[in-house]
Structure 1
Amino acid sequence: MAASDMDNSELLSALQAIVGEVGVLQGADMAAYEEGARYGQGRARLVVRPADVAQVQAVVRLCAERGLALLPQGANTGMVGASTPDMSGTQLVLSLSRLRSHCEVDVANRSVVVDAGVTLQELNDKLEPHGLWFPIDLGANPSIGGMVATNTGGTRLIRYGDVRSNLMALQVVLMDPPGEVVELGRALRKNNTGVDWKQLFVGGSGAGAIVTQATIQVHARPAQRATALVVPASDEAVMELLQAFERDLGDWLAAFEGISGNAMQAAIDHVPNLRNPFAPDDAPAFAILVELEANASPKYSQLDLQEVLNSFLEDQFESTIVNAALGNATELWHLRHSISEGARALGKPIAFDVSVPRSRIMEFCREGRALVARDYPFLTVVDFGHIADGGVHFNVIWRKDAPEQYDAAVVQRLRDAIYGMVVQDFGGSYSAEHGVGPHNLAYYQRFTPPLLQQWADGWRERLDPQHLCGTVDLGTAKN
């Protein structure tokens, strides 16, 4: 029976026979699965929520037999629409939110086997009693499967790397042969027995297979932290300061986050219980949130990390920095993680998640702001990001009080201009962390060499010849 010949009542019965009544949603209950965190709004045929890998297998086989398009979805926190259905109403959203029964910690191996539906916060809660954590620090609470599918980075990438760097093994359910389970890798840090096949499924937003379980390396929780929000003497001083940190304190440097004055003020003005760390002075034009971490216990190392940071910053005064707020780490990180909320309160964000060589990141921010001020003076730039790894969230806000009404054509011209600058002028990426998805597909087609697009098409054709999976992250827009 083809998908077109199978009405919803028949499909509902077939899916309920696999996952039970609680495992299938329809009607208004699907709303949270049909809209992305920032972009992506569609209509699902049904939402199916398998609770174990056998149920995932059976759903995939049903889809293959009936020619049903499916869309894998984790916690749906992505920013490029890759986890939300299109408007056709034909796609079956396969949510992994109930796939969460396994979270097995091997303390001595510093690894954990975890189901794809377990969230980052749940994983860290499970690890905390063992003095461990998975230190990919985000403003959201994604699922582990979604983090694999998007190769999440976050604010501590310079110390711990991204998901790819910490991934030991994967369990995936294939589209072809439909429903076949494959185990890729083991809980090993050294395994040079051939191609590392698990990496094919990292960063592709679910193309070709559904991630159902991951084995990841976890880390010892720091014994000490030291945090400061510092004001650089100039744009040029930012890289000088970063290099000084890496030269003198590189063993402990965990975060080096840039925050523009606009970003800081948006958070302070619109998020309750936030204050300006530099009060009574105004928020500076630019500041850097820096954090050091050490696993060495003060009992044995005689190390006081806060004293180390304070001494280092004193030596940097007048050369690379002109002010510093040495405060409560929780308070400073709350300010950093509140920027997106503050930006949304100002108006409608036009988000750019981009990266450039870090040596040019301040130059890019300066030129990007100049472009917006010159050509779109009614828009406001609220930028912040991961200076140490070259990533920046160059958010542009169409303010609620702007004299011009929101215009999609204007936004498209702005996107074309910013992404063109990033890729062509700065040798950067139009998507540093969030992936491609429908939101960035046109730029994938514009900036990815045709040969590489052909390779991606061929790879996907081999893994998913029926085009069951609805993601568009790999290859051109076939679905």
Structure 2
Amino acid sequence: MSHLDDLRLAVGEPHVLTGIDAAPYLTDWRERYSGRALAVVRPGSTDEVAAVVRACAAAGVPIVPQGGNTGLCGGATPDESGHAVVLSLQRLNRVRSIDPDNDTMVVEAGCVLQTVQEAAHGAGRLFPLSLGAEGSCTIGGNLSTNAGGTQVLRYGTMRELTLGLEVVTAQGDVWHGLRGLRKDNTGYDLRDLFIGSEGTLGIITAATLKLYPLPVARCTALLALASIEDAIGMLSRARHDFGASLTGFELMSGDCLASVVRCFPQQRLPFEGEAAALPWYALLELSDSESETHARERFETVLGEAIESGCVKDAVIAGSVAQSNALWHLRESIPLAEKALGKAIKHDVSIPVSRMTDFVRDTNHALQQAFPGIRNVVFGHLGDGNLHYNVAPGEGWTDASLLARQDDVFALVHDSVHAVGGSISAEHGVGQLKRDALVRYKEPVELALMRSVKQALDPLGIMNPGKVLAVTSR
């Protein structure tokens, strides 16, 4: 019996896709990476995932786990060899349980993030992870890259939002670790080892997630700013005055928002005059547990003081849920506008907030010196220091000519990140995009420890090979 026959036996013939049926799974969302696969396999349960892994381990066939296929670093795309099996988890899409008293929910890895948010809301609770792809990305993908999104400032990344995991190991065994405990010091923290590992150590099939009380009120404002220094000053003021109620602080360059308005004329920047042409904007959100009136009064007082001091040039406060959604839609449309205007070279970096001004100023200048005419597309989660610092085609550049210099652009930007004590990957993962750069920026001891973990948990090297760590000869 062939390996494909084994896979059909494990999950059912309709769920082993080849040829044209497999094509949608073989190219990433940005259309930057394409590969080939022996088959795309769609298990419908944890037991079926385990059976697929055991079959692949016995045959020495690599496995590429895939969720919603919305990743930005090629982490869920197979290589060109055609030897791997793409293991799609989209059929593992059940919300298994919700425990309001324990403020937890157990969901399968193929659950779409928006579905999880809605299920939590239906139980009178909040699951706070929020990001632009929430209508299509899956919890398994969020876990694999330790996703952060727009509310990390208050709630943390997926590591902080996860209490337990269910994982299929590289040998096809199942670790039943779905404990809803906030304290469990009974050994090594395996949960955090698998989160962020991009499917290179095992396959997450379900997770126990933390829930929170629904906020009584939310206030949202778009701030017009003269500089990043002013944005950082406003962030410090908001942290001091709002404390834990501050849930979001997003930084966006004026060029980013101009691109959104140009690409999507139905959207508009809600400022006029000088405030409509400033270089920086910030989206600030407060979640209050007392009342709408209390939240609004605090919000208006703090923003009024910030305007009087000159820290903020102007502000638009949303007066309704619809207006709040419109302001967030501006922020969430930046990647879509960026894609519509050309293929950018993306950098998802972490920078100490205190070094953000120096980093942006010096790196912008260095890029213009080295690549005259390129466009900087700068936006991100200023509250936690996560900047999406992208380089797009400008005057004299085409998609092809810019991508031909990708390695040079990466080296310049990543060297600048490293120089200010930052990280070259904040929330998008490493995948194959940044895999080779790790050698340049991580200490040899750190890389050796990572390889030791990989060897211990995946001795056959079949779990998402070529992602995060380069494949080494045996």
CA contact (8 A) 1:258 1:385 kept: yes
Deviation at 1:272, TM superposition (A): 4.4
CA contact (8 A) 1:112 1:217 kept: yes
Asked if 1:182 corresponds to 2:175, the answer is yes
Deviation at 1:405, TM superposition (A): 5.5
Asked if 1:256 corresponds to 2:249, the answer is yes
Q: Write out per-residue CA displacement over residues 448-467 of structure 1, whole angstroms, 9 at most, x where no aligned residue.
A: 11111111111111111111
Q: Distance in 2 between matches of 1:396 and 1:263?
A: 12
Structure 1 stretch displaced more, 22-31 or 42-51: 22-31
Aligned position for 2:62 = 69
Q: Distance in 2 between matches of 1:149 and 1:443?
A: 19
The amino acid that maps onto 2:357 is M
Aligned position for 2:96 = 103
Alignment of 1:139-158 (within 5 A): 139-141=132-134, 142-158=137-153
Aligned position for 2:313 = 322
CA contact (8 A) 1:355 1:391 kept: yes
Q: Distance in 2 between matches of 1:33 and 1:68?
A: 18
Q: Distance in 2 between matches of 1:250 and 1:233?
A: 25
Runs of 5+ in structure 1 lacking a partner? 1-5
Structure 1 stretch displaced more, 458-467 or 314-323: 314-323
Deviation at 1:407, TM superposition (A): 4.5
The amino acid that maps onto 1:369 is N
Asked if 1:382 corresponds to 2:377, the answer is yes
Q: Secondary structure at the match of 2:343?
A: strand
Q: Distance in 1 between matches of 2:91 and 2:394?
A: 39
Say which of 240, 246, 271 aligns to 2:239.
246
Aligned position for 1:337 = 332
The amino acid that maps onto 2:163 is M
CA contact (8 A) 1:347 1:399 kept: no
Deviation at 1:233, TM superposition (A): 4.2
Aligned position for 1:41 = 34
TM-score by structure 2 length?
0.94
Deviation at 1:416, TM superposition (A): 0.8
Aligned position for 1:3 = none
Aligned position for 2:126 = 133
Deviation at 1:185, TM superposition (A): 5.5
CA contact (8 A) 1:43 1:87 kept: yes
What percent identity do the matched residue pairs reach? 36
Aligned position for 2:4 = 12
CA contact (8 A) 1:276 1:283 kept: no
Deviation at 1:265, TM superposition (A): 0.4
Deviation at 1:356, TM superposition (A): 0.9
Q: Which runs of 4+ in 1 moved over 6 A?
A: none
Aligned position for 1:310 = 300
Aligned position for 1:294 = 288
Aligned position for 2:355 = 360
Q: Distance in 2 between matches of 1:477 and 1:434?
A: 21
Deviation at 1:184, TM superposition (A): 2.6
Deviation at 1:474, TM superposition (A): 4.5
TM-score by structure 1 length?
0.93
The amino acid that maps onto 2:79 is D
Deviation at 1:232, TM superposition (A): 2.6
Q: Distance in 2 between matches of 1:102 and 1:256?
A: 30
CA contact (8 A) 1:111 1:216 kept: yes
In the alignment of these two chains, the number of paired residues is 464
Aligned position for 1:196 = 189
Q: Distance in 1 between matches of 2:348 and 2:184?
A: 34
CA 1:198 to 1:452, structure 2 compared with 1: closer, same or farther past 3 Å?
same
Q: Distance in 2 between matches of 1:258 and 1:238?
A: 8
Deviation at 1:367, TM superposition (A): 1.6
Q: Distance in 1 between matches of 2:346 and 2:317?
A: 30
Deviation at 1:73, TM superposition (A): 1.0
CA contact (8 A) 2:218 2:285 kept: yes
Aligned position for 1:208 = 201
Structure 1 stretch displaced more, 46-55 or 94-103: 94-103
Runs of 5+ in structure 2 lacking a partner? none
Aligned position for 2:229 = 236
The amino acid that maps onto 1:455 is L
The amino acid that maps onto 1:304 is H
Q: Indicate the RMSD between aligned Cα atoms, in angstroms.
A: 1.8
